[in-house]
Structures are given as C-alpha cells and as structure tokens.
Amino acid sequence: MLGRRLQLATRPFTRGYAPKWPRPKPGTSERPPMRHADPLVNSENAVITKLSDEDLTFIHRPPPTSPSPLSYSTNPVSPLLRPPKAPTNAPLPPLIRPTAEKPQPERASDEVVAEIRRLRALDPITYTRGVLARKFGVTQNFVGMIAATKKTTRKPLIRIRDASHEENRQKWSERRSLVMTVRKKRRQLW
C-alpha cells in the first residue's frame, strides 16, 4: 500500500503538451476559425456611404499613392519632393575605399609629353618606363601609351631582359628551381 502511494506521488498528473488521441472530429477544431477585420471598413481613410432604400453600402478608400490635396509643387508634403536646403558644414560620411582619397594626378602638358617621347626614342635602355615615370611624376602605363617603343627596338630589349632574368635564375637554389618548375607545369595544366 505504501509503495503504491509513493508511485502515485512521483508520477506527474498533468500533461505539458497536447495529446495525440483523442483527435477532434473531422470538420471541427478546438479553436474557432480566425476572423480578420475587413481592411476596407477599418481604414481611417475609408469613406462609407449607406443607401437605406436598397440596403447597399459603398466603401471608398483612396489608394495610398494618390496625391494629397494639401500637396503643391511650391510646398510639397513629402520630404523627398522638397527642394534641397542650403549646404551645411556637417561632416561627410567616410569614403568607401582608401584609394578614393588619393588626389588625381595633374594632366601632363604637351611639353612634358614631347620630352618623354624624345628621351624614350633617344635611348630606351637608359630611359625606361619606370625612370621616365619617376622623373616626370606620371605612371608607367602613361609612358607606355604615349611613348611605346618600336617593334624593331622592342625585340632586342626583350632579349636583354630575358638574359638578365636567366642570369638570376642560375643563382636559384635547387629547391627553388624545383618549386618554380612545378608551378610552371601546374599553370600549363589549367
């Protein structure tokens, strides 16, 4: 008897969840169906007109995008349509990227362009794109655009450059040579 009482005392008597059985009968539910309020009737802009002799009700609600009768082009209601105010001294938001802060380089004058072309044609080995770019404060791409070397002059320059590169490659260690060979092979398989 005492054991039975302890069993009942330790067992919970209420369920914390809905039981699976018995289920409600088909077509019924435990909760009444949800009834939403009519948006036309409950709108503050709706104009309701009732006709008593025909038992009809007319509900007119203007669209939300229709212009307000108080809005004029000289004094618009929407702040988006108002003309801009005088500029203020408020701080501007930060720039998106740091390179945007860099000022644009000044345009090179015609005399500078003529001098770059003359020096490049005079001696392209001494006056390389990098040397001329530093001397005149322009970019190397700009020097390449306005003073490109002729094809007949370019081929020996490329041979000289490749020879100096090959000379530097001879100084590489065995491991570096292996790594560069594997990299070159991997690039071919792309």
- Name, in order, each residue with C-beta under 8 angstroms of 127's C-beta and a sequence gap of 6 or more: 119, 120
What is residue 46's predicted lDDT score, i.e. its pLDDT?
82
The alpha-helical segments, DSSP class H, found in 21-64 are: none
pLDDT of the residue at 162: 94
pLDDT of residue 91: 84
Average pLDDT for the chain: 80
**Each residue's pLDDT tens digit, 83-106:** 677 777 888 887 778 777 777 778
pTM of this prediction exceeds 0.75:
no
What stretches in the chain show pLDDT beneath 70?
1-33, 65-83
Segment 39-69, tens digit of pLDDT: 777 778 888 888 877 778 888 877 776 666 6
Give the pLDDT confidence score for residue 28 in this predicted structure.
Answer: 65
Distance CA 11, CA 5 (A): 10
Token readout for 187 is: 């690039």
Scored b (16 or more CB within 10 A) or e, 36-51 reads eeeeeeeeeeeeeeee
Q: What is the pLDDT of residue 68?
A: 62
- Per-residue model confidence (pLDDT) at position 147: 92
Query: What region does 24 belong to: left with phi over 0, alpha with psi -120 to 50, or beta?
Result: beta
